[in-house]
Structure 1
Amino acid sequence: LCFSKTPQDPGKNFPHTKQVGTYLVGKMINKGSFAKVMEGLHISTGEKVAIKVIDKKKAKEDSYVLKNMKREPRIHQMIKHPNIVQLYETLETENSYYMVMELCLGGDLMDRICDKKKLEEREVREYTRQIMSAVDHLHRHGIVHRDLKIENFLLDENNNIKIVDFGLSNTMKFEGLSQELLNTQCGSPAYAAPELLAHKKYGPKVDVWSIGVSIFAMLTGTLPFIVEPFNIKQLHQKMVNGEISPIPTDMSSGAEHFVHYLLEPDPAKRPTVKDAMKDKWLNEVFIRKPLNFTTYKNRLCPDELNPVVLNYMTETMELRLSEVINVLINNKPSSIMASYCLLLKKLVKY
């Protein structure tokens, strides 16, 4: 099989205003305070990507943003999981810093909830299992996401969750069994654990709380703790008192129990992701597929690489096989990584 089906002029059917490296930059998908996400096209394969564009001038004005800008690709290089968005390549120009990532064609979970008002338990269970699998993988490797929220859960074309935005993630130093607790304040207040809002030291269980808030939002279309007008002290008080928004009468007792289990204000009593993965409601219908059964490797082995794609890269693109393998087994974001992943995507389509 060859890749001759690549369009001669991929830009023809792709409205774009500029080119960065080997990508055409198209319409905006999303916008944040210091970054925007654009749709992009990888010229040589004709495959679409997402391009996160960070304004260097804005980043330089904020030391925290500047630090995050470098941190995000580093975390991506450490991690590989089917429910975590893949970073293909990073590029830099005088004014901007670009992160080229997998494009999630299913949109984001927020839109899905808004369209349907709330999601069915069956669907929420499926999404939660994928989120937990990914977060457990992060925690095993000493990474706390710290900004898990509905907006950071995207969907691919097969309706699978892809977690994005590792700008606030941090790595914990493992010292024997005790982990050095993190104590930076970040994340969105509505999803932040009470210990975070109280400026106390915290660990990976802040992610468990955020998953609890996200599950509540999926099941009800609202947030579990709401304060109008917004006031962080009152929000914290509601969390500590366990004053959760009313639970709809049609929610199953299993789902309700699970939400309360995760939204435990005392981090010492709150379950770890690993413990939460054993929950009965979460594993209903999946008796034969226990959640913590599958482990994922962060590195590809040379014998797992696709020979058709490797052959194309060495013969047609005239790359050295040893160089291609070295990039892929070290999970290095680069033009080689981008070409391999996008060619593989193309091959699977045919």
Structure 2
Amino acid sequence: MKISNFCLFKYLYFPHFPHATLTYIPTTDVQEINDESNFTLISHEIISNYSYINIEYLASGAYGYIFKAKDIINGETVVIKIPKSEKDQISLHTEKDFLDNCDHPNIIKYNRELKINNKSCLVLPFYEDTLESVFLNDSLGDSDIRFILKQILDALKHLHSNGIIHNDIKMNNILLKDKRFVKIIDFGLSCRTNKPIKIFKNDGLDTLYSTYEYLSPELRRNMLYNEKSDMWSFGFTVKQLEQKNGWNPKYLKSIGFFDYNNFISCFLNDKAEHRISASTALMSSFFDFLYEFIYCFCPIEDYYFIKDDFIYTKKDDQLIITYYKSKIILHCSCSIKAKNFCYEKILQAKIKDSAFFYSNYSHNFQFGNHCNFMITFGSVNFLLCELDVFELENLRICFNFLTIGRIIY
């Protein structure tokens, strides 16, 4: 593990209140919390009552402690999040409630709840990387960045459709598995759309704008806000990732530079209504490269074959994939059914974000070519962009079988 990665642990898994600073406390500090005997007692309680060994203190903040441990049952490395006070306990309970209502592959799941030192604690999977640590220490290519951003939007769309505002989207709160797959964490500041909370003690302070500029203007000013506040934070994240390439003269003259800047302009607007929603952002041409494996397959001759219990049928403007009782239908972009459905979805997006599409920023947004295909699961229709990256990968594998008279392995 890199030293800089270790330092970032102080930001992981904790709710970050703007009026409270998380501070890493060296193990040599004389404060009570960092007293070696205190850690020994906590470690002993964990080992004595639960199936964890190799207890290791990672960090401490104003709202709790983080310990790393190994589960002796399955060998998994985990993080144990332990609150400090009753106030921390309430925050952790709030976070648990939101996680209980968030079932999505790009949102963290906690393993279990424990009682340590008479306090409820959460056990979460251990991830070594955050988006920030990878951003600082590794090279992220353009395709990697867009792949990651797609997953963040997938998670935000899920949250917002369930009436949840995250309120703390930033690179430190985005874990990465294998430096590619996203897990959103830290729901300590989250709230319901119909019950917004005040984050800051004061409003209008200049320091808020320099320290917390990743948060929306309305949130920093203690004004009413909605899920569009998260979209500001998302846009700020895109801007940070894009600026890493800003030193490169070739990049500044490339199509990618204008592509990113147009995309960012859809989020970093002072007026919340002039920001697009997560569902609309997923429809952007910014993500077209993710769907390049799909093409108009109508000209290919109809066929039928079986491979590994999958039945592949190409008939007219449909590719039908059947697995036992499950069926997926991909409708070609040239089919009337797909055209009508996609037209309706684009119209819905324009109505949902009507203020944006009537603003001067709208010329920076373009619906992607991937919005021309339709997927049917059971009786429900979807756009390609409504699939998560794992479903999309399965579709890519299946689409590789779509050839004339042979299978592409």
| TM-score over 0.5 (shorter chain) | yes
Q: 1:294 deviation in Å?
A: 2.4
Alignment of 1:95-106 (within 5 A): 96-105=119-128
Asked if residue 46 in structure 1 is aligned to residue 75 in structure 2, the reply is yes
Q: 1:39 deviation in Å?
A: 1.8
Q: 1:208 deviation in Å?
A: 0.6
Any conservation in 1 of the 2:82–2:116 contact (CA below 8 Å)?
A: no
Q: How many residues in Structure 1 have an aligned counterpart in Structure 2?
A: 243
Partner of 1:309: none
Distance 1:28 1:126 in 2: 33
Higher relative contact order (CA 8 A, sep 6+): 1
> Going by fraction, where is strand more abundant, 1 or 2?
2
Q: 1:48 deviation in Å?
A: 1.5
Asked if residue 37 in structure 1 is aligned to residue 66 in structure 2, the reply is yes
Distance 2:60 2:104 in 1: 25
Give the secondary-structure state (helix, strand or coil) at the position aligned to 2:112: strand
C-alpha spacing 1:48/1:150, structure 2 compared with 1 (3 Å): same
Asked if residue 260 in structure 1 is aligned to residue 265 in structure 2, the reply is yes
Question: Which residue identity does 1:132 align to in structure 2?
Answer: L
Q: 1:249 deviation in Å?
A: 5.4
* Structure 1 ranges of 4+ moved more than 6 A: none
Partner of 1:294: 387
Any conservation in 2 of the 1:183–1:202 contact (CA below 8 Å)?
A: no
Q: Deviations over 1:177-202 (max 9, x none)?
A: xxx36241259723110111121100
Q: Deviations over 1:52-98 (max 9, x none)?
A: 2222xxx33xx4x4432211111111111111111111112235442
Partner of 2:19: none
Q: Deviations over 1:260-295 (max 9, x none)?
A: 111111101111111111111123342547664227
Partner of 1:272: 277
Question: Could you list the runs of 5+ residues in structure 2 that have no partner in the other structure?
Answer: 1-41, 201-207, 295-369, 371-382, 390-409
Partner of 2:326: none
C-alpha spacing 1:291/1:51, structure 2 compared with 1 (3 Å): farther
Question: Could you list the runs of 5+ residues in structure 1 that have no partner in the other structure?
Answer: 1-15, 173-179, 224-246, 297-350
Alignment of 1:74-223 (within 5 A): 74-94=97-117, 96-105=119-128, 107-116=129-138, 119-157=140-178, 159-172=180-193, 180=194, 182-185=196-199, 189-221=212-244
Q: Percent identity of the aligned residues?
A: 23
Any conservation in 2 of the 1:50–1:102 contact (CA below 8 Å)?
A: yes
Give the secondary-structure state (helix, strand or coil) at the position aligned to 1:155: strand
C-alpha spacing 1:249/1:39, structure 2 compared with 1 (3 Å): farther
Q: After alignment, is 187-196 or 272-281 more displaced? A: 187-196
Distance 1:24 1:190 in 2: 40
Q: Deviations over 1:221-275 (max 9, x none)?
A: 499xxxxxxxxxxxxxxxxxxxxxxx95555211110011111111011111111
Give the secondary-structure state (helix, strand or coil) at the position aligned to 2:219: helix
Distance 1:98 1:291 in 2: 39
Give the secondary-structure state (helix, strand or coil) at the position aligned to 1:161: strand
Q: 1:24 deviation in Å?
A: 2.6
Question: Which residue identity does 1:136 align to in structure 2?
Answer: K
Q: 1:28 deviation in Å?
A: 3.7
